[in-house]
Structure 1
Amino acid sequence: MWRLFSDNKDFYMLRVQNEGNSINLSVTDLLLIWRSQLSESEIVKNFKENNSNVSAGNEDILSGFFDLIKDSTIGTIFINEKNKEFVEVILENSEDSAMATSKITYKFKLCKAEQQQFRNELTVPSIQTIYLLEKQKELLLSVIKKKDRELEEYKMEKGGLISRSDLITEKFDSCVLDSDEQETGFFNLFTKQQNEDFWLKLTENNGEIKKSNLSIN
C-alpha cells in the first residue's frame, strides 16, 4: 500500500515492501520512481547512525520503523534532497509517537529506478483499477435496472403504490452513469471495443486482475 505525503507543496507517495529478508523502499512523484533495497541489519544501522543518543533493541527498532512508515499520525516524511538520479528521504517521529520523549530520525537515499519499474508499479495497476471501476459501474447499472423492473412488476401485481413514502423513488435514468451515448471507456480515450482490445493486450503481458463478485443472479 502506498502512503501519501507532501513536501514543499509537492506530492509524493512512499511504499515499503517486505520481500524475504529484504525491505524495499519506493518513492514516486508520479513522474519518476526511486528505490532502495535494505536488509533489516541496514535499517538497524541507519537507526544507530542517526539516533546515537537513543538506546533500543533491534526488534524494537524494526517495529518502530514500520510503525513510522505506516502510520501518518506518528511518523513524518519529507524530502531532504532530490534530483533525477536520487532522492534522500527523512523519516521522523512526531510528538504523539511511542518514543515521543526521543527524536527518532531515519535517512534513506533512494536511486532512480528503470522506467519499466514505474510502469509495473504505477501505470499498469492504475489502468487495472480504472478498468475494474468501469466493470463495477456496469454491474451497478445492471442491478439498478433489474431493481426498477422488479419494482414495476410488484406495483402491477399488487395494484397499488408503495405505502412508505421514504421508499418511493423515481425510475433510474441510466444516462447519469452510463456512457453508452458516447460509446467510450477508460477516460473517454477509446471506444468501448477499443477499450476491450486494449485491455486484452494489457492482460496478455501483465496478467488478469481479480474481478470477483462482478456478477449478479
Structure 2
Amino acid sequence: MWRRLHNSLPYYLLFTQQNNIDITITNNVKIWTVQFDKEGFISYLKDNNFALEIETDELFTNGIQMLSQPEYLKSVDVTIEGDQLKLSMSRNFGYPIKLVLKLKLGSHDKFYKIVTQPLMKTVQDLRNSETELRNLLKRKDKEIEEYKMEAGEICLRYLKTQPFNDEAHMEKHTVFDIHFGSSDILTNSEEETTSNSEITVKEEKTEHMNIKTEPASQVVQMEMQVVPDEVKPIVIKKESNIAPKKRKFTLNI
C-alpha cells in the first residue's frame, strides 16, 4: 500500500517484503526503486548506524518498521541527483536509528504497473460501486412507490429523505464521463499498452533489418563500380596484342 512519506513532501512510499525487500518512491510523475535481500539490508542498516550497539534481529525489525510505517518517522528528507533519488529518514525507538537509501529511476513500464494501473483499477472499482448503489437506490424508490399504491402506510408522517434523482446526480458528477465516457478504462488501457509494445517490437525489428541491409547494398554498389574498371583494362590489352601482329605481318611482306 502506498503511504505518504510526510505531509510536507509530495512523495509516496511503497514497501513490499517477499523474497526480497523492495522499496519504491513516486511523486506521481516518476518512480525510483531499490531492492535488497535480507543480508544486504542488514548490512546497509549497520553501515548507517555503525556507532549503535544493538542486536542484529532488533536492528532489522526496526528498519522494517521505518519503511512500513513512515508516518512515525522523526525526520524525512528527499533529494534528487540526476536519475537518482536520495531518501534520508530517522526514527526514535528509545534510541535513534537512521537510514539513507539511494534509489534508481525506474522505467515507464514499471511506473505503469506500480502506479498508473492500480490507480485506474481503483477508479474503475469506484465507478462500478457507484453504478451498483445508484441502481439499488432506484429499486428502493420503486418499491416504496409500489407500497404506497397498494395503500400501505408509512410510519413516518414526513419522509426525511427525498427520492433519489439519478439524472441530477449524474449531472453533478461528470468528471469520469468527461475523461472516459462509458468505456471500461482498464480494458482500453491494457489494449493500448499491448498495441504500443507490439509497435515498439516491430520498430526494433525494422531498425535491425535496416542495419543489416544497408552494408549489403553498399557492397553491391561497390562491386558494380569495380567491375567496369577491371573489364576496361582487359579489353585494351586484347586490342594492343592484335595491333602488333598486324604491323609485324605488314613488315614481313
Structure-2-length-normalised TM-score = 0.67
Q: Which amino acid aligns with 2:4?
A: L
Q: Is 1:107 aligned to residue 105 of structure 2?
A: no
Which moved further from structure 2: 168-177 or 75-84? 75-84
* Inter-partner Cα distance in structure 2 for 1:108 and 1:165: 65
Tell me which stretches of 4 or more aligned residues in structure 1 moved more than 4 Å: 203-206
Instruction: Please say if 1:178 is aligned against 2:149.
Output: no
The aligned counterpart of 1:149 is: 142
Instruction: Answer whether contact 2:6 2:71 (CA < 8 A) is retained.
Output: no
User: Matched residue of 2:102: which SS?
Assistant: strand
Cα offset, 1:80, TM superposition: 4.2
Separation of aligned partners in 2, 1:156 and 1:12: 57
Q: Provide the rounded CA distance (Å) in 2 between the counterparts of 1:107 and 1:35.
A: 14
What's the offset of the Cα at 1:78? 2.3
- Aligned-pair distance for 1:42? 1.8
Q: Does the residue aligned with 2:28 lie in a helix, a strand or coil?
A: coil
Greater fraction of residues in strand: 1
1:43 to 32, 37, 41: 41
CA distance in 1, matches of 2:15, 2:74: 15
Distance in 2 (CA, whole Å) between partners of 1:166 and 1:25 is 57
Deviation at 1:88, TM superposition (A): 0.9
Return 5+ residue gaps in structure 2 as ranges. Answer: 194-253
Partner of 2:179: 189
Closer/same/farther in 2, CA of residues 71 and 176 from structure 1, 3 Å limit:
farther
> How far 1:93 moved relative to its partner?
0.5
Q: Contact 2:13/2:25 (CA < 8 Å) preserved in 1?
A: yes
Identity, in percent, stands at 21
Q: How many residues align?
A: 194
What letter matches 1:178 in structure 2?
A: M
Q: Secondary structure at the match of 2:178?
A: coil
Shift in Å, 1:130? 0.8
1:90 CA drift (Å): 1.3
Say whether residues 1:164 and 2:151 are aligned partners: no
Give matches, 1:81-160, under 5 Å. Answer: 81-94=79-92, 99-100=93-94, 102-160=95-153
Q: CA deviation at 1:204?
A: 5.4
- Residue 167 (structure 1) shift: 5.7
Q: Would the aligned equivalents of 2:5 and 2:71 in 1 still touch at CA under 8 Å?
A: no
- The residue aligned with 2:73 is 75
1:50-69 alignment runs, 5 A limit:
50-69=48-67
Q: Distance in 2 between matches of 1:60 and 1:166?
A: 63
